[in-house]
């Protein structure tokens, strides 16, 4: 019996030893820096505390629940060894947030009860007023009523009516006040349910110390539900002055953790984008009948797209990320759930994403309004893997900036081997509520040449183009731009710094100081039959006038038809010095107009075709 009990006693002692959990010690932590990517962010924190001798688990609390556990990096300074690092959800904090939601619901319920009581009182007063009105002739219906009795009756009605009216006014005022309070409480509850009512995460650092003493840590990790979009303000005061380009970042974050007075860096990298080099597969050529047909034509899209994003209750969603798929063109919905974007030429798919909602992709059609309803996604499964993560980088390799470092410039460009970062020295505070925050990055004074372009056949206005050489030094990304010309807002456009262009061209919008008119000249528009052929001629006169106070250079285009049939002959008769491209039929004029000057151009052509056929020239 003794030999049987001994192993059981030994097993009990072993289990008892394992059941003794390591002491958990919360650290004091603070977010110091954030590097924002086009999608996602890298957060840099510092944490300090005092460690006991032996093994213990250190807790870094208040971390975003959307952190990627594989990305956690921890470096420590002190007399200890880091044994393991992992992430765990902080359910105690989730419970506290649940209690906050219950308290809000209870407050809403109490106010709604008061509202019901006040509305009931309004009904009682209405009934009382009806009774008084029904009996207001009681005095006059009785013969021989004395003046004293009549006056008493009138005074009674007057006093009662005044009393009821005053009470109704007070009740209506109280109802309005209560409704405002209800709206505030409901919005607060909704915001808590949408974003903050998620369990915060905590980083658990298992350490072994040879002796008690202080310790400090530097931690960084990747989080989702944050990012930035490049935006620009382009200002031209005069076509004789340099162009001013203000580079801005539209920041959004729904990470569940506020950023308070942090140093921001903006990177053009996207850690969520695959880094694997593509592989060129074999190209198999076959007969047309055996090949799969493909349509390469893109639909004609409107100039801009706007709309509103709602939830399943038809309530507006603020802070929704709206992005053209595969690009850096995007924005964030405002407090009313509304968004507006300029449409790029080759993008037609919008991606709508928000914390706790299913991602929605929509094709942009010919309509300029696109409203979207986002539905709740399933339960977010947080990775609770507790595998140990070890790190071997030295402490001084981590990109933490000294707290007292001073920068002479507002921002600084940092060129890495594969990415470019813009560092902003001024600290920013950005709450985790999805609101848009605009951060000024750089303001450039860029030498530019200006010219106007116009196609009066399609549009009677001239468009100003600003052209910048050597633009690659500014490290710009594709983004929306607000255009200001001569101190006035002229519209929005897209700045697209395509890497293969030697000159960056920015459209500054319309300039109505250049007046144009294109008219058909009847005397040159004739139709006659010669033998078996018909000859038709067309003539147009284009009038230009410069109402500006300085000379302008204008590139003007028009066209003549191009024959694709040997039986149709097209002959240009008068082009007023314009250059004709025989392949496209486009005629181009390069014109310089002095201030107040006016010039006329003539475009004439002739078309000959068989009498039995028909062509359309107008």
HEC letters along 72-100: CEEEEECCEEEEEEEEEEEHHHHHHHHHH
Distance CA 357, CA 359 (A): 6
pLDDT in tens, 49-106: 999 999 999 999 989 888 888 889 999 998 899 999 988 876 555 555 556 677 778 8
pLDDT in tens, 500-545: 677 888 888 888 889 999 999 988 888 888 888 999 999 999 999 9
Contact 132, 160 (CB under 8 A): yes
Residue ranges of the alpha helices (H) in 544-603? none
Q: List Cβ neighbours of 576 (8 Å cut-off, separation of 6 or more).
A: 589, 600, 601, 602, 603
The DSSP bridge partners found for residue 452 are 464, 554
3-class SS string, 482-521: EEEECCEEEEEEEECCCCCCCEEEEEEEEECCEEEEEEEC
Q: Count other C-beta atoms under 10 Å from residue 491's C-beta.
A: 16
Q: Which of 141-155, 180-194, 305-319, 387-401 has the lowest mean pLDDT?
A: 387-401
Residue 513 has phi, psi (to 5 degrees) of -75, -15
Q: Count other C-beta atoms under 10 Å from residue 568's C-beta.
A: 15
Contact 480, 425 (CB under 8 A): no
Q: Count other C-beta atoms under 10 Å from residue 2's C-beta.
A: 5
Q: How confident is the model at residue 286 (pLDDT cuts 50, 70, 90)?
A: low
Q: List Cβ neighbours of 268 (8 Å cut-off, separation of 6 or more).
A: 38, 419, 420, 421, 475, 477
Q: Tell me the C-alpha to C-alpha distance, in Å, between residue 183 and each of 6, 111, 188.
A: 69, 11, 8
E strands within 274-377?
Answer: 304-310, 321-324, 330-332, 338-342, 349-353, 360-363, 372-373
Which class for 544: exposed (0-12), middle (13-18), buried (19 or more C-beta within 10 A)?
buried
The pLDDT of residue 406 is above 60: no
Distance of CA 236 to the CA centre of its chain: 26
What mean pLDDT is reported for the chain? 79
Looking at residue 12, its pLDDT comes to 46
Judged by DSSP in three states, 120 sits in helix
The DSSP bridge partners found for residue 77 are 216
Looking at residue 602, its pLDDT comes to 94
CA-wise closest residue to 70 among 255, 221, 226: 221
What is the DSSP pairing of strand 479-485 with strand 226-236?
Answer: parallel
Q: Which of 13-22, 110-119, 177-186, 388-397 has the lowest mean pLDDT?
A: 388-397
The pLDDT of residue 407 is above 80: no
Which DSSP letter does residue 532 get?
T
Looking at residue 196, its pLDDT comes to 44
Distance CA 468, CA 454 (A): 20
Looking at residue 555, its pLDDT comes to 93
pLDDT in tens, 108-153: 888 888 888 888 888 888 888 877 777 665 444 555 557 777 777 7
Q: How confident is the model at residue 222 (pLDDT cuts 50, 70, 90)?
A: very high
Q: Count other C-beta atoms under 10 Å from residue 446's C-beta.
A: 18
Alpha carbons within 13 angstroms on the beta-carbon side of residue 598 total: 5
The pLDDT of residue 433 is above 80: no
Contact 51, 61 (CB under 8 A): no
What dihedral angle (degrees, nearest 10) is formed by the CA atoms of 417, 422, 425, 431?
Answer: -120
Q: How confident is the model at residue 599 (pLDDT cuts 50, 70, 90)?
A: very high
The DSSP bridge partners found for residue 207 are 56, 82
Contact 478, 497 (CB under 8 A): yes
């Amino acid at each position: 019996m003794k030999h049987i009990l001994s192993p059981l006693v030994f097993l009990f002692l072993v289990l008892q030893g394992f059941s003794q959990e390591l002491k958990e010690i919360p650290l004091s932590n603070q977010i110091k820096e954030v590097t924002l990517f086009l999608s996602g962010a890298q957060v840099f924190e510092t944490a300090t505390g005092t460690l006991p001798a032996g093994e213990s688990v250190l807790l870094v609390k208040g971390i975003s629940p959307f952190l990627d556990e594989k990305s956690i990096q921890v470096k420590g300074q002190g007399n200890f060894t880091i044994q393991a690092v992992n992430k765990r959800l902080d359910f105690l904090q989730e419970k506290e947030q649940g209690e906050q939601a219950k308290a809000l619901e209870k407050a809403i319920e109490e106010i709604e009860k008061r509202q019901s009581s006040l509305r009931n009182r309004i009904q009682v007063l209405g009934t009382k007023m009806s009774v008084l009105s029904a009996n207001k002739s009681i005095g006059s219906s009785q013969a021989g009523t004395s003046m004293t009795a009549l006056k008493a009756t009138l005074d009674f009605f007057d006093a009662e009516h005044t009393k009821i009216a005053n009470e109704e006014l007070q009740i209506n005022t109280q109802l309005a006040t209560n409704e405002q309070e209800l709206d505030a409480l409901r919005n607060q509850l909704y915001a808590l349910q949408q974003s903050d009512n998620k369990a915060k995460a905590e980083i658990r650092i298992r350490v072994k110390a040879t002796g008690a003493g202080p310790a400090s840590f530097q931690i960084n990790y990747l989080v989702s539900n944050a990012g930035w979009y490049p935006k620009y303000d382009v200002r031209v005061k005069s076509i004789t002055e340099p162009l001013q380009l203000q580079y801005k970042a539209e920041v959004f974050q729904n990470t569940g953790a506020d950023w308070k007075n942090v140093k921001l860096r903006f990177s053009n990298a996207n850690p969520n984008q695959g880094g694997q080099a593509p592989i060129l597969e074999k190209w198999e050529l076959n007969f047309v009948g055996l090949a799969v047909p493909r349509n390469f034509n893109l639909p004609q899209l409107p100039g801009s797209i706007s709309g509103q994003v709602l939830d399943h209750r038809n309530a507006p969603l603020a802070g929704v990320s709206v992005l053209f798929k595969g690009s850096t063109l995007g924005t964030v919905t405002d407090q009313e759930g509304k968004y507006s974007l300029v449409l790029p030429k080759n993008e037609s798919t919008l991606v709508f994403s928000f914390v706790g909602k299913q991602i929605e992709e929509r094709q942009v059609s010919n309509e300029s309004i696109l409203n979207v309803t986002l539905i709740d996604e399933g339960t977010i499964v947080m990775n609770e893997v507790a595998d140990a993560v070890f790190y071997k980088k030295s402490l001084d390799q981590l990109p933490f900036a000294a707290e007292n470092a001073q920068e002479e410039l507002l921002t600084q460009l940092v060129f890495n081997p594969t990415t470019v970062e813009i560092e902003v020295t001024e600290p920013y505070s950005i709450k985790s509520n999805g609101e848009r925050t605009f951060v000024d990055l750089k303001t450039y004074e860029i030498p530019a040449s200006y010219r106007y372009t116009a196609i009066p056949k399609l549009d009677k206005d001239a468009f100003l183009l600003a052209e910048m050489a050597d633009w690659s030094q500014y490290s710009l990304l594709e983004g929306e731009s607000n255009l200001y010309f001569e101190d006035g807002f002229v519209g929005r456009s897209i700045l697209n710094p395509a890497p293969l262009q030697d000159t960056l061209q920015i459209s500054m919008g319309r300039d109505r100081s250049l007046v144009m008119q294109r008219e058909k000249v009847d005397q040159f528009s004739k139709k006659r039959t010669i033998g078996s052929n018909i000859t038709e001629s067309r003539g147009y006169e284009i009038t230009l006038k410069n109402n500006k106070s300085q000379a302008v250079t204008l590139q003007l285009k028009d066209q003549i038809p191009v024959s694709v049939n040997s039986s149709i002959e097209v002959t240009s008769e008068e082009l007023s010095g314009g250059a004709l491209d025989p392949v496209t039929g486009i005629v181009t004029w390069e014109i310089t107009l002095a201030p107040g000057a006016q010039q006329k151009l003539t475009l004439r052509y002739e078309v000959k075709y068989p009498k039995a056929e028909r062509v359309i020239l107008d």
